[in-house]
Amino acid sequence: MRHAKKTPRHSVDISEEAGIRYLHFGSEWVQGAMRIARPWSLELAYTREMLAGLLLRPPAQWPRQALLVGLGAGSLAKFIYRYLPDCRITVVEINPQVEFVARQYFKLPDDPRRLDVVIGCGADYMLAGERPFDLILVDGYDPEARAGALDTAPFYSACRARLSERGLLAVNLLGGNKNFQGSIALIEAAFDGRIAVLPPCDSGNTIAYATGGLAVEVTLDEMLERAKQLKKDFRLNLLPMLERLAASPLLAGHQLRI
């Protein structure tokens, strides 16, 4: 297990309200959440939309390898672990205290055969390796909402190089961040314009999807059918996101292409 060059000094705090446990990095800014009665569910809307890739690729036998940059409360890792049993998960987290808290207070599974947590810098991990992934989820911010090396041209280029032929990259972007448009431009450049920026959540989080391999060509009707099945099988409700998507310019001819 690799360790970060320098562990962040901010505190990792927990709060609870109305049956929901929250993770904070030394501020009121929420870095993760878990409904205590449903620890496997995705409580925050933006985490659900980070898995919208399940609408863009046929879900049978996909993804088999997932990489998560940023652990937080472990919500995405737990969901994939429970509902996509054929998928092996690698998580890169820079702060070892975050892993400890996720295991002690947010029910992160201890199963290194399927869920490998690497303590280190996500940018270093991406630039140093060659192992391909079907799904890369990037959600790494410090207490001041800065992504640092995770929002640079070399990092996004490395993400493209690490995607399999059917691979997808999903990045959580903060719509109110002054670097928002710059982040989109960096992803567009790294992926030759093959990017889809979903309409923002109510929280202001905006998920950008990109691919450099097999094209995404999926109709609204196909996504609706998949969304209904995901809601039935996994309690993953992406229908509100599809309502916003249907009203956006992304669906030219009722089809999404990346």
**Residue numbers annotated as active site:** 139
Query: Could you tell me if 52 and 170 are in contact, meaning their C-beta atoms sit under 8 angstroms apart?
Result: yes
Query: Could you tell me if 12 and 97 are in contact, meaning their C-beta atoms sit under 8 angstroms apart?
Result: yes
Query: Could you tell me if 55 and 218 are in contact, meaning their C-beta atoms sit under 8 angstroms apart?
Result: yes
Tell me the C-alpha to C-alpha distance, in Å, between residue 158 and each of 6, 61, 131, 187.
22, 24, 11, 11
Instruction: Please compute Rg for the chain using Cα positions.
Output: 17
Strands 13-17 and 20-24: antiparallel
